[in-house]
Amino acid sequence: MISHRMIKMTEGGSAIRAMFEEGNRLAALYGRENVYDFSLGNPNIPAPEKIRSEILSIAGNTDPMALHGYMPNAGYPFVRKAVAESLNSRFGGAFGEDNIIMTVGAAGGLNIVLKTLLNPGDEVLTFAPYFLEYGNYVSNFDGVLKAVPAPAERGFQPDAEALFAAVTEKTKAVIINNPNNPTGVVYSEDTVRALAAALGRAQEKFGNPIYIIADEPYRELCYDGAAVPWLPGFYDNTIVCYSWSKSLSLPGERIGYVAISPKAEDAGLIFSAAVIANRILGFVNAPALQQRLVAACLEEKTDVAAYDANRRALYNGLTQAGFQCVYPSGAFYMWVKTPEEDRAFTQRAKKYNILLVPGSSFACPGYVRIAYCVSHDMIIRSLPAFRKLAEEYGLTK
Amino acid sequence: MISHRMIKMTEGGSAIRAMFEEGNRLAALYGRENVYDFSLGNPNIPAPEKIRSEILSIAGNTDPMALHGYMPNAGYPFVRKAVAESLNSRFGGAFGEDNIIMTVGAAGGLNIVLKTLLNPGDEVLTFAPYFLEYGNYVSNFDGVLKAVPAPAERGFQPDAEALFAAVTEKTKAVIINNPNNPTGVVYSEDTVRALAAALGRAQEKFGNPIYIIADEPYRELCYDGAAVPWLPGFYDNTIVCYSWSKSLSLPGERIGYVAISPKAEDAGLIFSAAVIANRILGFVNAPALQQRLVAACLEEKTDVAAYDANRRALYNGLTQAGFQCVYPSGAFYMWVKTPEEDRAFTQRAKKYNILLVPGSSFACPGYVRIAYCVSHDMIIRSLPAFRKLAEEYGLTK
């Protein structure tokens, strides 16, 4: 009796969420410490202490009417101004408060941007492997998501020529997720420059603007000096969707922003429409308290040392066991080649209480994603289990 | 270059929001104290002191990982259980945590419920006058909103026979907003009983479930002993959308719930699908901190005395000036007949720095809405301005 689309979705479910629940089931059976749940990108580094102190200060010192009342649907002007100035000081550019919309996380931001841009049948491109939720976000607005492979042989860096070839007259946008979930690869400046050039040519070819939607919740999570190129510096028609979920370990709080490049075609119209989309999709505005909170914490640095230690330990342990892994430069995911079909592999891994997400869930079979935003201790404890798993396949040298 | 639908919407804008901005403009010109802005339903009673103390306690005493991390998309099980138990103790019934989804306000709740239920072309009924945003929410999912008049001669109580006559084989749901925005009318138990009976007959006639979506953010705001009938007690196929925006004065914080009656057809499937809708529309989950906050404040009583004092003062002042008003039993809106076309009337009211929302914005021309969730002092100061306005029309006796 419910919507046909939703019936299908209840049958499909989310592989990642299913794993999360499987983890809880196994933990109840074997004890939490004996289950190696690498399924969910839930940061395990606590939010910085300043988050707590600022909540106490905001709640303690702000008039409740000002604190909890409505504000413009785009968010508090002072918060948007602070975000714009922070972007300008970090990356250059001329963002103003009317280029910034505070959103219910990056997921909320992506949805309002897609609602703003898409007519039914419009195409959105992205690079596989990709966060499968993009397909749902695009189809919410009757768009069609098409994936262009970011090939393993290029170290999962996207190929600009393949992107150019995939553009049609229906292409409205390209979602670029950097650092990439699930591979942990940081798309390099060379890659970004080539993608921007290819899209510039495609815009000329078809005579339409094609927007880059930069999905960047992992921007601050980079290792070994890697840096994520700032897309608005390379391509005018760019809209950035950001979230503090990962950088400040606030995923449950649902706070992010959309930044529309002031150089984008129709930047003002996109802003107006996206603010309306924010309202009519039912977000209304990003949570008030969290807006004030992030404005007070714009200078907080993400502590990536713990993720980095996990990354090294896991990479060393897995490669020594015989697995082939991408050595990630960003995010907190490791992307590992599977010695058999990836869903079968994740099933077999469960025998050792190891929970992974199959590459099929990212439109890239033959791999698994390991979310290493877990305790270092769990990484160390899991390595013998991974070794046994490798032995089943005769991988161990 | 943006979506055709959204281009149209940027042209239309929101009359209520436009008034809000007009209020700021006039305040800058004449001083805030000389502008009588009755346009926005932004509660002016501060949140109870317990809200502040609970935020301090939650932030001060909760492990940041537990506090800010992901939880199930439906919300914390302990919060959902507390909400369910509160409903059961207040209204009877057998709600469990799997009937409750924590949402980004009632607007978020309405959107996930409509996404769950609607196929393209499905019809949703509601009673005019109504909150015009319903039309946007329904068209987000390619449904069609149809309004059944709640006639002035019935004191704006809906007519069950008119509802029955409006149902077609495409009718999937009926949105019932009680107390009503904009009239302030509380739909009585007689009304609700008749509506439930009529819908029951309609279900039999067409052989399909027809869901009542009860939009109840104003439930706690009632006067003179009026009470809002609990719809799940009268009609099994009921889904309640609630928000603490008005009852606890937290509209900016975006926290509410969806309660699916355990007696509803396909209750379990609706729950599963609505949780997915919550995820894929980009809400992901209701803000974590606010979930804990409302769970700790379920017993807080709404202080309606201040709104009641405003209601009486405004009603007396307006009727003495010669206006015809509905004496409201709920919410914080007064519904006033206009002596000329309602948009012309609101324009004329601006001459006296009075900001109102025309009835046309609620699909009911010939009236204006006065949001009296403002300071009592402003009500008193505005009465001479209203009197002058009445004199222009020769209303004053």
H/E stretch holding B371 reads strand B367-371
Please tell me the predicted confidence (pLDDT) of residue B16. Answer: 66
CA distance A37 to A346: 12
Question: Which chain B residues are within 8 Å of A64, Cβ to Cβ?
Answer: 46-47, 51-52, 249
CB within 8 Å: B251 and A68 = yes
Residues B246, B168 within the same domain: yes
Closest chain A residue to the Cα of B140, Cα to Cα: A281
**Packed helices A49-61 and B49-61: angle between N→C axes, nearest 10 degrees:** 170
Residues A385 and A345 in one domain: yes
pLDDT per residue as tens digits for the range B100-141: 999 999 999 999 999 999 999 999 999 999 999 999 999 999
User: Domain residues for B190?
Assistant: 70-296
Co-location of B290 and B310 in the same domain: no
Mean pLDDT of B54-73: 95
Domain harbouring A338, CATH code:
3.90.1150.10
Are the Cβ atoms of B4 and A273 closer than 8 angstroms?
Answer: no
Q: Which of B276, B296, B316 is the last residue of a domain?
A: B296
Mean pLDDT of B273-280: 97
The verdict on B15 touching A (C-beta cutoff 8 Å) is: no
Same domain, yes or no: A145 and A238: yes
Question: Average pLDDT of chain B?
Answer: 95
- B2 → closest Cβ in A70, A109, A269: A269
Gap between the Cα atoms of A12 and A364, Å rounded: 17
Q: What number is the ipTM of this complex?
A: 0.96
Interface of A with B in 118-177 (CB under 8 A): 118-119, 133, 136-137, 140-141
Q: What is the CATH number of the domain that holds B138?
A: 3.40.640.10
A263 — pLDDT class (breaks 50, 70, 90): very high
Tens-place pLDDT, residues A67-112: 999 999 999 999 999 999 999 999 999 999 999 999 999 999 999 9
Per this entry, what is the length of chain B? 397
Banded model confidence at residue B368, pLDDT cuts 50, 70, 90: very high
Residues 351-390 of A with CB under 8 A from B: none
Q: Is B256 on the interface with A (CB under 8 A)?
A: no
CB-CB contact of A70 with A278 (8 Å) = no
Separate counts of helices (H) and strands (E) for chain B: 14, 13
Interfacial A residues in 28-57 facing B (CB < 8 Å): 40, 42-44, 46-47, 51-52, 55-56
B75 and B119 together in one domain? yes
Interface probe with B: pick from A68, A134, A285, A303, most Cβ of B within 10 Å = A68
Q: Taking residues A154-170, what's their average pLDDT?
A: 98
Q: CB–CB of B253 and A289 under 8 A?
A: yes
Put simply, the answer to whether A252 touches B109 (Cβ < 8 Å) is no
Please name the residues in contact with B62: beta carbons below 8 A apart, sequence gap of 6 or more.
Answer: B292
Based on the fold, state whether residues A33 and A138 are members of the same structural domain. Answer: no
Segment B146-154 mean pLDDT = 97
Q: A63 lies in a domain?
A: no
What pLDDT was estimated at residue A40?
A: 86
Whether A262 has a pLDDT exceeding 90, the answer reads: yes
Q: Are residues A274 and A318 in the same domain?
A: no
Residues of A in contact with B109 (CB under 8 A): 282
As for how many domains chain A has, the answer is 2
Average pLDDT over residues B312-331: 97
- Give whole-number Cα distances, B98 to A226, B94, B238, B275, B345, in Å: 44, 11, 15, 10, 48
Q: What is the mean pLDDT of residues B163-190?
A: 98
Site from A284, A290, A293, A303 to mutate, B interface, most B CB atoms within 10 angstroms: A284
Q: Does A1 touch chain B (CB under 8 A)?
A: yes
Confidence band, pLDDT 50/70/90 cuts, at residue A15: low
Searching chain B, which residue's CA lies closest to the CA of residue A134? B280
Whether B288 and B337 share a structural domain = no
- Cis, bond preceding B149 (omega within 30 deg of 0): no
Domain boundary among A250, A278, A296: A296
Residue of B nearest to A112 (CA): B282
Q: Are residues B163 and B309 in the same domain?
A: no
Mean pLDDT over B20-30 rounds to: 83
For chain A, list the strands marked E by DSSP: 36-37, 100-103, 123-128, 144-149, 171-177, 211-215, 238-243, 256-260, 325-326, 333-337, 354-355, 357-358, 367-371
Confidence of residue A14 (pLDDT cuts 50, 70, 90): low
Work out the percent of chain B whose per-residue pLDDT is above 70.
Answer: 98
Nearest-CA distance B385 → chain A (Å): 26
Q: Does any domain span residue B56?
A: no
Contacts of B209 in chain A (CB under 8 A): 1
Q: Kindly report whether the peptide bond that precedes residue A72 is cis, defined as omega within 30 degrees of 0.
A: no
Chain B residues whose CB is inside 8 A of the A255 CB are 287
C-alpha span between A110 and A101 (Å, rounded): 12
pLDDT of residue A21: 76
- On whether residue A61 sits in a domain, the answer given is no
Residues 175-214 of B with CB under 8 A from A: 208-209
Which chain B residues are closer than 8 Å to A279 by Cβ? Answer: 14, 17, 133
Contacts with B270 from chain A: Cβ below 8 Å: 2
CA separation for the pair B119, B15 (Å, rounded)? 29
pLDDT band at B15 (very low <50, low <70, confident <90, very high): low
Q: Where are the alpha helices (DSSP H) in chain B?
A: 4-12, 15-30, 49-61, 64-68, 77-91, 105-117, 133-140, 160-166, 189-206, 267-280, 288-296, 305-321, 342-350, 376-392
User: Is B282–A107 a contact, with Cβ atoms under 8 angstroms apart?
Assistant: yes
Residue A235 touches chain B, beta carbons under 8 Å: no
Q: Which of residues 63-102 of B touch A (CB under 8 A)?
A: 63-65, 67-71, 73
CB-side neighbour CA atoms (13 Å) of A83: 30
> Using one digit for the tens of pLDDT, what is the confidence trace for B198-257?
999 999 999 999 999 999 999 999 999 999 999 999 999 999 999 999 999 999 999 999
Q: Are A239 and A261 in contact (CB under 8 A)?
A: yes
B310 and B284, same structural domain? no
**Would residue B354 count as lying in a domain?**
yes
**What does the pLDDT look like over A239-254, one tens digit per residue?**
999 999 999 999 999 9
Asked if residue B65 belongs to a domain, the reply is: no
Asked whether residue B55 is assigned to any structural domain, the reply reads no
Contacts of B141 in chain A (CB under 8 A): 3
Q: Is residue B311 part of a domain?
A: yes
Let me know whether A84 and A210 are in one domain.
Answer: yes
Q: Are A223 and A129 part of one and the same domain?
A: yes
